[in-house]
Structure 1
Amino acid sequence: MTQHRTTDIAVIGAGVVGMTIALRLAQAGREVVLIDPAPPGMGASYGNAGTVADYAVMPVGTPGVLRNLPSLMFDRNSPLSIRHTALPSLAPWLMRFARQCLPGHAARNAQAIAALLATASPSWRDLAAEIGGAALMQQRGCLYLYQTEVALRGAAADLDQRRRLGIAVETLDPAQVAALEPGLPAAAGGAFFPQARFLTDPGRMMQLLAGAVTTAGVELLAARVEQLQRLVDGVALTGPGLQLHARTVVIAAGAHSRRMAAMAGDAVPLDTERGYHVEWEMPQPKLSRPVCPTARGFYLCPMDGRLRVAGTVELGGLTAPPSPHRIARLVEGARTIFPDLGAPDREWMGFRPSMPDSLPVIGPSRAGAEVIHAYGHGHIGLTLAPITARLVCDVIAGRPTEVDMAPYLPGRF
């Protein structure tokens, strides 16, 4: 039975970004309803690589990617691929993406990402401690692995740019890589990001965050928002079993946000990356920190009682079934590192919200501040959840924000 309800703030989307926003708003004394048809913290918030990637300042679109874009898109074994059936609908997004790969755009996008990431690691440390998840948060750094001398030399410019943007990174020779991770096969070298943190169980951390949200007084509604309509005194949200009036609405629905943004009056070029992971159960994973074999574009992630292999980029929308080929590529790639791996114990696919410039959409709607945007974080949604929550709270309260919001506003398009 549909109930006619009112609330101060409605947050659409109970992923890590939406939950963290709801938590901070409730702690500020606001009445908050959190709406999602799925259980809190599922989807990409659960299935990611677990890295608090404060080093991930480089946008997906760079001049190097632009040079290799045709081969990247149409090579089925590439870390970045496109489902050919989705190509017509993706064409406008791809044109915007190509433009963002140009040197000037890529440099500005990197600076804007770095501004958001500056406090990511301590922010997650504090959030984890607050919700009882300190034991799930490890600071052991992250290792990029280069299999050939050519790849290692080719990474030098990228690593130097990260250093200029304030990222601590150490270049390792083969002996140093082996000392750091003796279970890995021989490599030409590595790049070590010592300040990076990771979650040993993202799903468990999401459960703890959901518990903190409800303890703070946030009401969870298991419902799907199908219509968003601006009113004189707020916003009406309706769907099956849902009829809610809110003075302010925060759209934090990740890859599902574009339709609601359009209803709010904002044409946002959001599309969907389909991410995959496979897992092998093992009491003692053979690694002590996340490792990225850069040529393959995935992460080897040691988690509690299992090894998770997560990553690659597949542009293919929200409706196509999982690609067995992408799963097979992850398994094959993992076996090049650990040849004794058998069949994986589980596999997963989820959706990332992807913007052509790799910048999230955060801030008030162009049509009025009754609607606030908070999505489009791409590969770093987990990492940026605490920062996004602070920015949204400041925008709603009318306070100055810790960073210049101009690069992230929906009106930038």
Structure 2
Amino acid sequence: MDRKSGTLVVGGGVVGKVCALALRRAGESVTLLDPQGASPPASYGNAGHIATEQTAPLASPAALASAFRRLFGLGGALDFRLSDIGAWGPWAARFVAASTPDGAARGQQALSALLRDALPAWRRLAESLGRPDLLVERGHLVVWESAATARAGRAAWEAADIGQARLTSLAEPTQARLQRLIQPAIAGGVAFQNTGQVSNPALMLRLLDEAFEAAGGQRRIGQARRLSVVDGRVAVELSDGQRLAPERVLVTGGVGSGALMRGLGHAAPIIAERGYHLEGGADHWDDLPPVVFEDRSMILTRFGDRLRAASFVEFGREASPPDPRKWARLRRHLSELDVRLEGPVAEWMGARPTLPDYLPAIGASRRADNLYYAFGHQHLGLTLAATTGEWVAALMGGAAAGIDLAPFDLARFERGYKTRSNP
């Protein structure tokens, strides 16, 4: 039976869709406010990788030290749109402040706790959708094209804390399969186990919508423009001028969540961390797990008869036009690898929502009695979506979330605030 409280979930990406479904299945009356933008969300355009190995947040001394050599102008994947310095400049200052040894250690502890149940949660979600084949658990491969980068890359991964993932040498038959598909010689590689991928990101989003509606959830197309508080409770103003006053509001709106939360006085220093992909036919490409070409900062993932090449960490405004040089660089990488995308080749650019410490924001607002949030999952939105939905449903249902959510409280960005995880 539905509770009397109606919940509005703001956001149409994978985190919003999973949270809406989890709340509906918990008995809530739920409306999902989906902006249906011109470009599909980042949860559609990513590499489909369930990245349980990425326990180290990118806010770290190591990331700072390596940033210069990773710049796009020097052949790397990292770029800052100069025209958008007003957006990423203040964020970058916070990122540098967060990238201390102590900050990185606390961040890794918190992120590891989030990732611990990521893959099991995806199994539960895929089963509940009646499509266990949505989750493919074959791990992924990382390869290098020079002996020097192979030695350094393997040593770095072997020294890293990779959480629930496991690392082994790249088996000779697997390397031979991959070598038949590409031109440059593979100098070395490793294989990860206990990671995975979704079989089809577009299908995943459609199945979530269908399951939500089948469970009695309501979808509404619209854009939240502003949140306001009256008598301690939040209301939502839409871009068409309508005003909604649900019993509870959950903000899962990706990059746009920052402006909504800041409108209520929250510190929410989020940035659009933009990625790019090319996708085309792949009849010639073997049925391999995702392959990371680490020298090129590019990942290739097969989705059925399609192959997707994804890359880049571009900081800027979400609405800024795409940079065609990124697609040109992807085409050059594919050409040098002798990888062909057949038929029409689709170009995509989308924005990951990223906070300066590379941890998501998950919690309950202190500024409105009926406001909750779950956004800022950076590269791990797809990876953490299933378990985030479970935590949010527990949090909003008054049950224990199963992990300490204090490190993900938005108040961590307020001056003088310390989480329980801090000294």
Which TM-score applies when normalising by structure 1? Answer: 0.92
Q: Is the 8 A contact 2:354 2:378 kept in 1?
A: yes
Q: Is the 8 A contact 2:232 2:369 kept in 1?
A: no
Corresponding position of 2:106:
108
Corresponding position of 2:36:
38
Structure-2 change in CA distance of 1:249 and 1:93 (3 Å): same
Q: What is the CA-CA distance between 1:150 and the residue it aligns to?
A: 2.1
Helix, strand or coil at the partner of 1:190: strand
Whether 2:227 is the aligned partner of 1:224: answer: no
Name the stretch that deviates more: 263-272 or 17-26. 263-272
Whether 2:56 is the aligned partner of 1:61: answer: no
Corresponding position of 2:348:
348
Corresponding position of 1:236:
235
Corresponding position of 2:75:
77
Whether 2:118 is the aligned partner of 1:120: answer: yes
1:251-290 matches, cutoff 5 A: 251-290=251-290
Structure-2 change in CA distance of 1:180 and 1:168 (3 Å): farther
Structure-2 change in CA distance of 1:279 and 1:374 (3 Å): same
Q: Distance in 2 between matches of 1:241 and 1:211?
A: 28
Whether 2:47 is the aligned partner of 1:49: answer: yes
For structure 1, list consecutive stretches of 5 or more residues without a partner in the other structure. Answer: 1-5
- Alpha-carbon displacement from aligned partner over 1:126-172 (angstroms, at most 9, x marks no partner): 21122133223211111111222222332345323444644311133
What is the identity, as a one-letter code, of the residue corresponding to 1:31?
S
Q: Distance in 1 between matches of 2:25 and 2:51?
A: 26
Corresponding position of 2:175:
177
Helix, strand or coil at the partner of 1:295: helix
Q: Is the 8 A contact 2:232 2:368 kept in 1?
A: no
Corresponding position of 2:87:
89
Whether 2:407 is the aligned partner of 1:407: answer: yes
Helix, strand or coil at the partner of 2:295: coil
What is the identity, as a one-letter code, of the residue corresponding to 1:223?
G
Structure-2 change in CA distance of 1:174 and 1:337 (3 Å): farther
Name the stretch that deviates more: 345-354 or 97-106. 97-106
What is the identity, as a one-letter code, of the residue corresponding to 2:50?
V
Equivalenced residue count is 408
Name the stretch that deviates more: 286-295 or 21-30. 286-295
Corresponding position of 1:3:
none
**Structure 1 vs Structure 2: percent identity of aligned residues?**
34
Q: Distance in 1 between matches of 2:134 and 2:285?
A: 15
Q: What is the CA-CA distance between 1:119 and the residue it aligns to?
A: 1.2
Q: What is the CA-CA distance between 1:237 and the residue it aligns to?
A: 1.0
- Alpha-carbon displacement from aligned partner over 1:24-58 (angstroms, at most 9, x marks no partner): 11111111111022079931121111111111212
Q: Distance in 2 between matches of 1:42 and 1:128?
A: 21
Corresponding position of 1:208:
207
Whether 2:138 is the aligned partner of 1:137: answer: no
Q: Distance in 2 between matches of 1:237 and 1:261?
A: 11
1:284-303 matches, cutoff 5 A: 284-303=284-303
Which TM-score applies when normalising by structure 2? Answer: 0.90
What is the identity, as a one-letter code, of the residue corresponding to 1:273?
E
Q: Distance in 2 between matches of 1:83 and 1:74?
A: 11
Corresponding position of 2:15:
17
Q: Distance in 2 between matches of 1:53 and 1:183?
A: 24
Structure-2 change in CA distance of 1:130 and 1:177 (3 Å): same
Q: Distance in 1 between matches of 2:402 and 2:180?
A: 41
Q: Distance in 1 between matches of 2:40 and 2:370?
A: 27
What is the identity, as a one-letter code, of the residue corresponding to 2:100?
L
Root-mean-square deviation (CA, aligned residues, Å) is 2.4
Q: Distance in 2 between matches of 1:166 and 1:75?
A: 35
Q: Distance in 2 between matches of 1:349 and 1:156?
A: 30
Q: Is the 8 A contact 1:331 1:344 kept in 2?
A: no
Q: What is the CA-CA distance between 1:179 and the residue it aligns to?
A: 5.6
- Alpha-carbon displacement from aligned partner over 1:277-327 (angstroms, at most 9, x marks no partner): 101212353351101111222210111111100121111111211100011
Helix, strand or coil at the partner of 1:315: strand
Structure-2 change in CA distance of 1:85 and 1:151 (3 Å): same
Q: What is the CA-CA distance between 1:9 and the residue it aligns to?
A: 0.9
Corresponding position of 1:380:
380
Structure-2 change in CA distance of 1:287 and 1:150 (3 Å): farther
Q: What is the CA-CA distance between 1:223 and the residue it aligns to?
A: 1.1
Q: Distance in 2 between matches of 1:180 and 1:132?
A: 32
Structure-2 change in CA distance of 1:127 and 1:173 (3 Å): closer
Deviating runs (4+, > 4 A) in structure 1? 173-176, 179-182, 339-344
Q: Is the 8 A contact 2:52 2:162 kept in 1?
A: no
Q: Distance in 2 between matches of 1:108 and 1:148?
A: 34
Q: Is the 8 A contact 2:54 2:162 kept in 1?
A: no
Whether 2:196 is the aligned partner of 1:193: answer: no
Q: What is the CA-CA distance between 1:221 and the residue it aligns to?
A: 0.9
Corresponding position of 2:419:
none
Name the stretch that deviates more: 327-336 or 66-75. 66-75
Corresponding position of 1:363:
363
What is the identity, as a one-letter code, of the residue corresponding to 1:187?
I
Helix, strand or coil at the partner of 2:166: coil
